Structure 1
Amino acid sequence: MKVDILGVKFDNYTMDQAMNEVVQQLKKEKNAYKIYTPNPEIVMMANEHMDFMNILNRGDLVIPDGIGVVIGAKIMKKDIPERVAGYDLVQNILAEIADNKMTAYFLGSAKGIAEEAAHHMEKAYPGLKVMGTHDGYFDDQEEKHIIASIQSLQPDVLLVGLGAYRQEKWIDDHVEKLGVKVAIGVGGSLDGMAGHVKRAPVIFQKLYMEWLYRLIKQPSRARRMLKLPLFLIHVIRHRKH
């Protein structure tokens, strides 16, 4: 069941339910399952760009990667049981495919990051095989080579970390012809997996305050963080109508 939050339709799944869904999709021989992980900032971006909204709503699994979405749902008296952090979902997926001798491809971030992330993840999840990697800086000609490479390697799971909107549009444009079973937009997760960006300490995670930790570490994010109160204002206004 989908839950509409300011036009973006989220699945009202727990992490366990989301993983159960992904596991079922991985069992299929042919698939092109799209996973998106919007947070309040991305919801607001989608409200400014209807084509982005439409792309998100074509996603097969859309999870709330941000406690703000869960709070917004409660304000609107809608059922989203918990935050399903995109980074954690990706880790669970990698563990699942490692156990089942499935493969992955990492696309995105700066030069060398995807390769480092692949190395770290293969070490963290014995049995995982990352078939190929490529950074997120490519022109149209290079893009053709990336697509051909993915088609040739036939990975089961594709991680795309090109930043909000660009990564979802890239998946939406190409997933049907890539031959992958599952494609997921991962934002900056490749940097985290490569060890270049540290995850917030567990206490921040448990208190749903990872955003505060990131703001302390990266004050330049302040302008982006203003999207959260703006999101909540829009939610309250929407509830009144």
Structure 2
Amino acid sequence: MSRISICNIPVDALTMQQTIALIDKAIEEHRPVHHVVINAAKVVNAQKDEALKESIVSCDIINADGQAIVWAANFLNRPLPERVAGIDLMDNLVKLAAEKKYGIFFLGAKEDVVKDVVNVYTEKYGKEIIAGYRNGYFTKDDELEIAKQIAESGASILFVAMSSPKKEIFLNTYKHLIKMPFIMGVGGSFDVVSGLVKRAPVWMQKWGLEWFYRVMQEPGRMWKRYLFGNSEFIYLVLKEKWKQVFKTK
């Protein structure tokens, strides 16, 4: 498994199928794997948030969730084979869990949303894959008890749908207590699976315009985040490219 770097944040050069194969092997061997996906916003935030950066770099598998990461990698002459979107990986792993009889614990989102996610997957694959679930609204004082609940569920897979950096730091803090073969943060994926939020059309995904589709759905809340976040990411990549060019001269 080769690993490159984008603005001092590592990312693995893996396809979707290679990622699934590594995860499946780890679950079969009961070998803990902490997974994370990175996008432009996460790379930008990790430059300023040391706890977030540590939670990323300590992961066993790091995938490029955003198309911008793939483009940046190519621009920096460190090509990645493809984008491995977190929500697509989650869907593939739920299917794998049904085939291999792996239990899943779902943590995050509002109570009605996480229940809808459980119902969607139960209807599609059967209740046997559901090891447990809990909403993502809790305080710092609740975290230890929740981690123990997850550990006692007997699940092989944990999906955590909370905002960044909360989910990354939670997983990095408690993964040694949870001791689950596979743990992964999935951001807002529960909202999509439940039907609360629509995902961008495939053509927009391919052109790296999911962020724009998100802004169109919630312009008041999202425009500033993406305007400044994307601009800062472009600046960081150009800065790294300049260093690259300078070194070759």
TM-score by length of 2: 0.91
Give the distance between the partners of 2:239 and 2:46, measured in 1 at CA.
Answer: 17
Q: Classify the secondary structure of the residue corresponding to 2:5.
A: strand
Give the distance between the partners of 2:73 and 2:151, measured in 1 at CA.
Answer: 39
Give the distance between the partners of 2:17 and 2:168, measured in 1 at CA.
Answer: 23
Give the match for residue 106 of structure 1. Answer: 106
* CA shift digits 1:163-197 (9 cap, x unpaired): 11110111111111113110001111111111111
What are the equivalent positions in structure 2 for 1:1-241 lying under 5 Å apart? 1-29=2-30, 31-126=31-126, 128-219=128-219, 220-226=221-227, 227-241=229-243
User: How far did 1:125 drift?
Assistant: 2.7
The 8 Å contact of residues 101 and 127 in structure 1, kept in 2 or not, is answered as no
Paired letter, 1:144: L
Which consecutive unaligned segments of at least 5 residues does structure 2 have?
244-249
The 8 Å contact of residues 51 and 169 in structure 2, kept in 1 or not, is answered as no
Give the distance between the partners of 1:225 and 1:139, measured in 2 at CA.
Answer: 28
User: How far did 1:128 drift?
Assistant: 5.0
Which consecutive unaligned segments of at least 5 residues does structure 1 have?
none
Residues 151 and 51 (structure 1 numbering): CA distance in 2 closer, same or farther, change over 3 Å? Answer: closer
Q: Classify the secondary structure of the residue corresponding to 2:84.
A: coil
> Among the aligned pairs, what percent are the same residue?
26
Give the distance between the partners of 2:95 and 2:178, measured in 1 at CA.
Answer: 22
User: How far did 1:231 drift?
Assistant: 0.5
TM-score by length of 1: 0.94
User: How far did 1:81 drift?
Assistant: 1.6
Give the 4+ runs in structure 1 shifted more than 3 A: none
Give the distance between the partners of 2:207 and 2:108, measured in 1 at CA.
Answer: 30
Paired letter, 1:9: P
